[in-house]
Structure 1
Amino acid sequence: MNSEPLLPTGRDNRARLPLTLAALGFATLWCLGLLCLRWRLTNNLHYAFLAWNLFLAVVPLGLALWLSRIHQRPLGLVVLLGWLVFFPNAPYVVTDLIHLSPYGRAPLWFDVLLLASFAMAALGMGLASLQLVHEWVEAQFSALIGWTVTILICPLAGFGVYLGRFGRWNSWDVVQRPVALLTDVAIQLTTPQSAARAIAMTLGFAGLLFVTYGIWWAHGRPLGLGQTRKH
């Protein structure tokens, strides 16, 4: 069986993933630095939850990095499923902007900077993980399947963001409370008002992910290392 490298072997492509991770690491330190500064200035931990939400956005990136090293298709599909469960945590941080208040103890512009920084850092982690997943699926199957799966992931993640923000569900509930979760999903989708909101938010975040990933993909090179295309 013949196989061809999925990636060019040039130095720029080998450096792409480490540089991306370094940039995301710097973004994380920037966010945590702003959060600590706000705490020192206001003696208030009102936005401390942002640190936890950013950590949850790191989880799908870690799973995607693991996936990029897996060559066995069955194991990879299991990891991919786990990644899909946690992936909505990345775009979810964007919804934390609803906590912005002009009556906070810090200047409003600072809180805008703080929330926007966390949102962009988390979204960046999500886009990096999505590209790694895209590359793995493409390497294991085909370019068409790779793009098809990537596009389908966007509305699934959008619905996950909706469940997290309005249903207050989290990724762990898929394992810990699956029956309750599915029951609530059925109720949400069969109640007209809830269904309309769910559809609108799902499509909205699907669009956000698709547009931002398109920009990310168009301006970057492959992130995965050592993957080969199956024939």
Structure 2
Amino acid sequence: MKELNYPKVFLLLAALSGATLAVYKGVSLRTDTFYAFLIWNLFLAWIPFVFSMAAYELDKRRAGKLLLLPLGVAWLLFFPNAPYIMTDLVHLTVKKSLYIVDGTIQNRYWYDMAMLLLFTWSGWLTGFFSLYQFQSVIYRKTNLLWSWVFVVAACGLGGYGVLLGRVYRLNSWDVLTDRHQLYQLVIDSLNRQSVFFSLFIAFVLLALYATMYCLMNALGRGERGVHLR
């Protein structure tokens, strides 16, 4: 795997988030602040990146090995918040009467759609870079095959997390604060429709992540920066 310059990656993601917030500000001044909740959702998408960066740096320096497992668990709990932003596109349908008046699509529809897509892109890219960091950690400790097993499992859990968040309205911290509710939701979600939804989202995540991975590795130039120990 190619080792990335993560200070530059951080600056890139921060700039993208800044641009996303600027677009939101411009749209909200022209319309209203209905989509203010997207700011919170974008913040949640950054949390897994913070955990993955900490784990990546600790492993790179061969320090704090005991912290890798709790960082990994915390990352898994918050990772679904990144792809979850995509589901906020549902509001384009919920607010249909506001966007289509007398059979005419209002300009606000295009403003809000572009803004939602930008939030989605920013959240997904941040989540994918955090996944790449943890894959790099697994790769260092095992091999490329096991690192991809981890990616597939993470995408599967990510798809299931999106289901719990959007359909069952479960938050990441509910796992720690309300285990009874979590257990009940897991039981309720064990049905064909929910399994298909989770696998569908997982496949989409895996397809997009694999594309990004190939762009950074197979199509990139330069020396390999991450080696087996």
TM-score (normalised: structure 2):
0.85
1:219 aligns with 2:215: yes
Partners of 2:66 and 2:146 lie apart in 1 by: 16
1:113 positional shift? 0.3
Match of 1:192 in 2: none
1:89 aligns with 2:81: yes
> Which deviates the most, 82-91 or 64-73?
64-73
Please list, as runs of the form range in 1=range in 2, the aligned pairs for 1:1-231 lying within 5 A after superposition.
16-42=5-31, 44-71=32-59, 72-100=64-92, 101-102=95-96, 103-104=98-99, 107-189=108-190, 195-221=191-217, 229-230=228-229
1:91 positional shift? 0.3
Partner AA of 1:140 in structure 2: K
Partners of 1:121 and 1:133 lie apart in 2 by: 19
Partner AA of 1:229 in structure 2: L
1:106 positional shift? 6.0
Partners of 2:228 and 2:108 lie apart in 1 by: 52
1:34 positional shift? 1.4
2:172 aligns to what SS in structure 1? Answer: coil
Match of 2:102 in 1: none
Aligned length: 211
1:229 aligns to what SS in structure 2? Answer: coil
Cα 1:51–1:58, aligned 2, differ >3 Å: closer, same or farther?
Answer: same
Partners of 1:216 and 1:202 lie apart in 2 by: 21
Partners of 2:159 and 2:65 lie apart in 1 by: 26
Percent identity, aligned pairs only, is: 30
Partners of 1:88 and 1:134 lie apart in 2 by: 16
Partners of 1:188 and 1:151 lie apart in 2 by: 20
Partners of 1:228 and 1:99 lie apart in 2 by: 45
Partners of 2:40 and 2:58 lie apart in 1 by: 28
Partner AA of 2:228 in structure 1: R
Deviations 1:81-123 (Å, cap 9, x if unpaired)?
1100100000000111101134158611111101000001000
Structure with more relative contact order (C-alpha pairs < 8 Å, separation 6 or more)? 1
2:168 aligns to what SS in structure 1? Answer: coil
1:228 positional shift? 6.0
Partner AA of 1:95 in structure 2: T
> Which deviates the most, 151-160 or 49-58?
151-160
